[in-house]
Structure 1
Amino acid sequence: MADKRVASITPPNKAYPREELEEMVQRWLQANIDAEKAGDWTSHLGPMYTEDAVYGWNIGPNEEFVANGRKEICDLALGYQMHGFEEWEYPYHDIIIDEKRGTVIGFWKQVAPYKREDGSHYEIAGIGGSWFEYAGNFQWAWQRDFFDLGNAKDCFFQLAGAGALDKVVKEKIHLQAKGDLLPGHRRLREEPSKIQKVRNTLAMVKIAVTGR
């Protein structure tokens, strides 16, 4: 079961000076730039979370990633999860600050270092971003990422076809294909039975063929 602090976040209600939040955002953006240049997110971003911070994101209808505490965030979210993506870039293109509630929403892109024949970079289409709660002292209390899972899968299919997936990423995909949960991942509920999965598939095929 996913940690309820991530699966069901209650918007905070603690005000902070606008200038302080703006400075936090600038520090965060610079730390991200430095992390991308170094290929090391743990050293640059880890100190910007509280000791008991929570970081998570959804991975489809029945799976969540959750890292509880700064150590797990460093080991899993900024460490293991980023292995194989050291050369990717995640530029922010818009930031929304709510100083009355102490929250920030940042919208970013996920851009691969690999290029298509036309010279354009592979990137995950759709909306991607992070929702943060500020805890004071220039640290986040929690972070919740969101992205377009369908477009993410499509991008990885394209990269696989182009032979551009990192070896570590291939290993992660292999584990997931076997039904294994990667570190930090957890089911939200019990998986449906094979019979139920077949019934669901047949029902969808019928709708697609007959419209009923």
Structure 2
Amino acid sequence: MTAQETNIPVCTRQELEEMVERWLQANRDAEQEGNWTKYLGPMYTEDAEYGWNIGPNEEFVAHGRKEICDIALGYQMKGFEEWQYPYHDIIIDEKRGTVIGFWKQRAPFKRPDGTYYEISGIGGSWFEYAGNFQWKWQRDFFDLGNAKALFFELAGAGLLEPVVKEKIHRQARGELLPGHRKLRPDLSRWETFRNFIAMVKIAITGK
């Protein structure tokens, strides 16, 4: 029988609150130095899993601390060393040993009106605690449509780093970046065309 089935807390509230404070400080240190691997890597178990969705047919998943450090915190963060990801709300469930943190994704540039280039919508991370002040898994979520819109805006303003441009170029050629995987086979060209025509018809005729 599991702790969830018996409603026995998997850890104390105090321990989880301390874990969150350690995590937030590690994030601040990582942003200050532009090095997420150094500060966040040790906060995952050896067999931890870290992932996020990238649209209807693609996901990123890193298995184990080494992949998390090398890919999720390493390769994926190349070109974003000066970005900030401030947390603005935290939900802690000590009975399940889980935490949800809501954050922003903010570029280090401002628009002519003085506002920061920032991904709109809701963004955050869902964690499960493993004890010993380490995460068992982390699952990120964000508004993909708003993320794409911001990257188009940054591209137009000439503010994308070369390494980010290279990643976009590789994806545009149909390459899967490290850690990325398809959830199912891609639609054929005919299916894609059929779906596009069907949507155009609906947009024009309402039928």
- TM-score, structure 2 length as denominator? 0.96
Paired residue for 1:193, among 182, 188, 195? Answer: 188
Q: Deviations over 1:88-131 (max 9, x none)?
A: 00000000000000000000000000110111110000000000
Q: Deviations over 1:144-177 (max 9, x none)?
A: 0000000000000100110101111100000111
Gap runs ≥5 in structure 2:
none
Give me the whole-angstrom Cα distance separating, in 1, the residues matched to 2:148 and 2:12: 40
Identity of aligned residues (%): 76
| Residue 23 (structure 1) aligns with | 18
Paired residue for 2:80, among 85, 102, 114? Answer: 85
Give me the whole-angstrom Cα distance separating, in 2, the residues matched to 1:74 and 1:196: 38
Count of matched residue positions in the alignment of Structure 1 and Structure 2: 201
Give me the whole-angstrom Cα distance separating, in 2, the residues matched to 1:62 and 1:114: 31
2:123 match: secondary structure = strand
| Residue 155 (structure 2) aligns with | 160
| Residue 111 (structure 1) aligns with | 106
| Residue 121 (structure 1) aligns with | 116
> Does residue 39 of the first structure (1) align with residue 34 of the second (2)?
yes
The one-letter amino acid paired with 1:196 is E
> Does residue 94 of the first structure (1) align with residue 95 of the second (2)?
no
| Residue 44 (structure 2) aligns with | 49
Give me the whole-angstrom Cα distance separating, in 2, the residues matched to 1:15 and 1:96: 16
Shift, 1:139, TM fit = 0.1
| Residue 3 (structure 1) aligns with | none
Give me the whole-angstrom Cα distance separating, in 2, the residues matched to 1:208 and 1:16: 53
Shift, 1:34, TM fit = 0.1
Give me the whole-angstrom Cα distance separating, in 1, the residues matched to 2:130 and 2:32: 27
- Runs of 4+, deviation exceeding 4 Å: none
2:55 match: secondary structure = coil
2:56 match: secondary structure = coil
| Residue 150 (structure 1) aligns with | 145
Shift, 1:15, TM fit = 1.9
Give me the whole-angstrom Cα distance separating, in 2, the residues matched to 1:169 and 1:119: 24
Paired residue for 2:126, among 131, 136, 140? Answer: 131
